[in-house]
Amino acid sequence: MARARNSLIDLDATPFYHVISRCVRRAFLCGEDKYSGKNYNHRRQWVLDKLHALSGIFAIHIAAYAIMSNHYHLVLRVDRERALSWSDDEVIERWYQLHKGHPVVDRYRKGEIDDKASLAKVAEVVSVWRFRLYDISWFMRHLNESIARAANKEDNCKGRYWEGRYYSQALLDEQALLSCMMYVDLNPIRAGMANDFKESDFTSIQARIRSYEQDRRTTSKHNKASPKQPANLLPFGGSQQSLAIPFTLYDYFELADWSARQIVPNKRGFVEEHQPKLLDCLGIASDDWIEIVNHFRRQYGNFAGSRERLRQCANEHHHCWYKGVG
């Protein structure tokens, strides 16, 4: 039985979530459809453009993404504190980029109301909008609806485009976050769609590599300690930034390259015998790591993390256990 969404999204437990949305039946999000012979690669850019636009409106950051042929993966960070710090006027301006608004708020923006009852109504409406601007369900609703309408219009058809509501996994600790991001970035390589990360089109790691290489080419004084990162992705920051992903970009690149070589044994290049620094820091055995990044969704259910965090979260939600404890 499907669980209520509010029992799956617990911002007090973690701000990081892995979400997946899949097209219904054989509908193609992008790529080449062998049944119709049509190519839908241009739809990948639709998803990417909409993702970047929404992340600039919502208090939700994109940590990783991979846009596949009939589904996509996202790793999101919800910034509830930022949304709560916005003024009422900023919430209104952001919401009006998505919707027409509300009659009372329209009058407030024009300076036509000053009575307490109307101002209280404005505050009530803005409070609802503020919550929605850091709610993953509303984020996914705006993303999926826009893509479905555009795809149906292009295909000259009507009806459901997505299988149903999106699938979500709460990433309860650093190990879950790291393994899930790697699982997402490795998707095209695991599926045989790309040989390396530079060829993994429409993935977050390709965007990070391109940004890093451009920084090295165009900047005479390349800052190795703090390399340039894509503006529309949540940055890697080690332990210096509270909002950033708690690893360094170099360590992530090292782990990604090592992981890809383990998954694709005939991949060109030298394979070092020692395991990457991040695995040592988190105390993860190399065999366990490869199993997780190959089968992340099989390993965990709606919550992912260490056995201790899974047990703790299950207890807080009044459940006996969560998949992955064993």
**Token match 């009659």: residue?**
103
CA distance 135 to 86: 15
Domains annotated on the chain, with CATH: 5-82+135-316 (3.30.70.1290), 88-132 (no CATH)
Query: pLDDT-derived band of residue 269, with 50, 70 and 90 as boundaries?
Result: very low
Give pLDDT tens digits for 157-213. 888 888 888 999 999 999 999 999 999 999 988 888 888 888 888 999 999 999 988
pLDDT at 267: 52
Let me know: does 109 contact 92? Beta carbons within 8 Å.
yes
Let me know: does 185 contact 204? Beta carbons within 8 Å.
yes
What is the mean pLDDT of the segment spanning 26-53? Answer: 80
% of the chain exceeding 70 in pLDDT: 86
CA distance 217 to 213: 6
Given a cut of 70, is residue 223 above it in pLDDT?
A: no
% of the chain exceeding 90 in pLDDT: 41
The H-or-E segment that residue 73 falls in is strand 71-78
Query: pLDDT-derived band of residue 242, with 50, 70 and 90 as boundaries?
Result: low
CA distance 315 to 304: 14
The H-or-E segment that residue 71 falls in is strand 71-78
From first CA to last CA, the distance across the chain in angstroms is 22
Given a cut of 60, is residue 241 above it in pLDDT?
A: no
CA distance 254 to 257: 5
Neighbours of 149 (CB within 10 A): 11
User: Which of residues 290 and 94 earns the better pLDDT score?
Assistant: 94
| Cross-strand partners of 170 | 17, 303
pLDDT at 101: 86
Helices 116-132, 88-95: axis angle to 10 degrees equals 60
Highest mean pLDDT among 16-20, 33-37, 98-102, 198-202: 16-20
pLDDT at 5: 66
